[in-house]
Every structure is written in structure tokens, then in C-alpha cells.
Amino acid sequence: DQQVKQNSPSLSVQEGRISILNCDYTNSMFDYFLWYKKYPAEGPTFLISISSIKDKNEDGRFTVFLNKSAKHLSLHIVPSQPGDSAVYFCAAIGGTSYGKLTFGQGTILTVHP
């Protein structure tokens, strides 16, 4: 049962343009969402997060949007840079399971110069 889904396995974007990565979830108990960036053979690096009481959180080039009614969140990267090329995972926390992250399958982002 995949509670967090990233339906796009890959995304290719031109440098300078916007990258939009999407994530859907099914568990209404999730109340905190995170995005991680991961390079091969390395651990994930935290990017940005959002609480369920908000619908937007922005940090520099990264903005996360949350639509609770649709159980959907997205990560916007603008402008995209070649160094952003990596695998992006969305993750969710909820209920009483403090700290237990449920991950999506990941989206491979490639930013072309």
C-alpha cells in the first residue's frame, strides 16, 4: 500500500526554467511533509518542509505547495540549475508515529544546461 506516491519517475528541464515535482498521499493522518534531495550512493539531504496548517512554504529557489483537500503537494524549483539534478523524494509524517517518514518513490530531475 503506497501511501505516498510520486507518479513521475523522471523530469527533464532546461536550465533557468521552473521544475515542478509532484507528490500525492492517501493517509489523512499525515500532518507534516518534507522534500529530500538525494545523489547516488549518498544519504538524502533535507530541502524544505511544510506543516499541514499551511499551504505554502518558501525557501530561496524552493517553494512547496500543499493542497490538503486534494492530498497533493508539489515542489517548485525556480530557476532550475544543473546542480539541482538529483533524485527528489517527498516524505510524510503523521499521527503518533513521531519521526517515522513514509517516502514516495522518488523523481529523477535532470536540468540541462
Partner 1 sequence: GAVVSQHPSWVICKSGTSVKIECRSLDFQATTMFWYRQFPKQSLMLMATSNEGSKATYEQGVEKDKFLINHASLTLSTLTVTSAHPEDSSFYICSAPPRTTYEQYFGPGTRLTVT
Q: List binders of partner 1 among 41-60 (CB under 8 A).
A: 41-46, 49
Q: Which is nearer to partner 1, 15 or 108 (CB)?
A: 108
Alpha carbon of residue 24 to chain centroid: 10
Site string for partner 1, 25-44 (x = CB under 8 A): -------x-x-x----xxxx
Least Cβ distance, residue 52 to partner 1 (angstroms): 11
Residue spans of beta strands (DSSP E) within the chain: 4-5, 10-14, 19-25, 30-38, 45-51, 56-59, 62-67, 72-77, 86-94, 102-103, 107-112
Q: Which is nearer to partner 1, 86 or 93 (CB)?
A: 93
Alpha carbon of residue 1 to chain centroid: 19
Which of these segments, 22-30, 53-61, 64-72, 92-100, binds partner 1 (CB under 8 A)? 92-100
Q: Which of 73, 77, 89, 109 binds partner 1 (CB under 8 A)?
A: 89
Least Cβ distance, residue 51 to partner 1 (angstroms): 8
Please report whether residue 23 would count as binding partner 1 according to CB under 8 A: no
Q: How many CB atoms lie within 10 A of CB 44?
A: 19
According to DSSP, residue 69 is labeled: T
